[in-house]
Homo-oligomer: A and B are copies of this chain.
Amino acid sequence: MTASKKEMFREYLASQGLKSTSQREIILDEFLRSDAHPSTEDLYLRVRKKHPQIGYATVHRTLKLFADCGIASVRNFGDGSTRYESIAEDEHHDHLVCQSCGLIIEFEDDQIEKLQEKVAGTHNFRVLDHRLELYGLCEKCQ
């Protein structure tokens, strides 16, 4: 899984005439080993610990490349920062977001997926991506 993402990224770079650099490798490694939903800032801070010479702009640009090539998707949980999430090709998952402590729980539900397709069908709409977030209070915060 991890190996195939690194593969996908290299292939994407090659296909676009872009270059493989040590910074991009380092950032991808850190991204794959990182929190589920890092913001650019989050990932930059992590990368900087081991590689202080890598700049914020490079992390930012590299995360956009991840999104472009399909190994990450862009999320926004309402806290004002854009987050990136590593994705597997065939799997969707959604989120429970605790508005008190910020806890994020991931879940998957095939029935909901199917109903989404059904709704889209009634509007002759072709779904390419979706986002479902449930906001509220986690067990501890209630």
Stretch among A48-56, A58-66, A126-134 lining the B interface = A126-134
Q: Determine if B136 and A124 form an interchain contact, defined as CB atoms under 8 angstroms apart.
A: no
Produce 1/0 per residue, A66-89, CB < 8 A to B: 000000001010100000000000
Q: Is A135 an interface residue (CB 8 A)?
A: yes
Give the complex CA separation of A123 and B139 in angstroms.
8
Q: Determine if B136 and A128 form an interchain contact, defined as CB atoms under 8 angstroms apart.
A: yes
Chain A, 113-142, CB within 8 A of any chain B CB: 115-116, 119-120, 123-139, 142
Q: Determine if B136 and A127 form an interchain contact, defined as CB atoms under 8 angstroms apart.
A: yes
**Interfacial chain B residues near A34, Cβ < 8 Å:** none
When A115-B111, A120-B96 are in contact, do A142 and B130 touch as well, CB less than 8 Å?
Answer: no
**Interfacial chain B residues near A134, Cβ < 8 Å:** 116, 119-120, 125, 127, 129-130
Partner of A137 from the list B96, B119, B125, B137 (CB cut-off 8 Å) is: B125
* Band of interface residues on A: 20 to 34
**Interfacial chain B residues near A112, Cβ < 8 Å:** 112, 115-116, 119
**Interfacial chain B residues near A74, Cβ < 8 Å:** 78
Q: Is A14 an interface residue (CB 8 A)?
A: no
Q: Is A90 an interface residue (CB 8 A)?
A: no
Give the complex CA separation of A131 and B107 in angstroms.
15
**Interfacial chain B residues near A131, Cβ < 8 Å:** 131-133, 135
